[in-house]
Amino acid sequence: MQRLQAAGSQQYRIFTGENSSEDRRGGRAGTMSAETASGPTEDQVEILEYNFNKVNKHPDPTTLCLIAAEAGLSEEETQKWFKQRLAQWLRSEGLPSECRSVTD
């Protein structure tokens, strides 16, 4: 596993080498097949969770694009995952899952 330095001081993980899911499955690492179209694979969730917890809970469009590419997901799938995961995290912290203005 390597770390790639990207915009700012944030770090992104890149899976390579003998632990790569590409080596185990013989295909492109992290891509979704028709069998797993119901959601991200375990490897993809690991990448998404790492970036959510260690990098940014609110990724900007460029960061989202990098995370999507790393996980082998579309930007739309990645954005949807982050939105749902943020709502789950906010609920676990006792905060409303929908962010509203302070004046609401």
Classify domain 2-92 at the CATH topology level. Answer: Arc Repressor Mutant, subunit A (1.10.10)
> Which pTM value belongs to this model?
0.60
DSSP 61-97: HHHHHHHHHHHT--HHHHHHHHHHHHHHHHHHTTS-S
Q: Summarize pLDDT for 27-84 with one digit per residue, the tens.
A: 444 444 443 467 899 999 999 999 999 988 999 999 999 999 999 999 999 999 999 9
- Rounded Cα gap, residues 4 and 103, in angstroms: 41
* 2 sits in which H/E element: strand 2-5
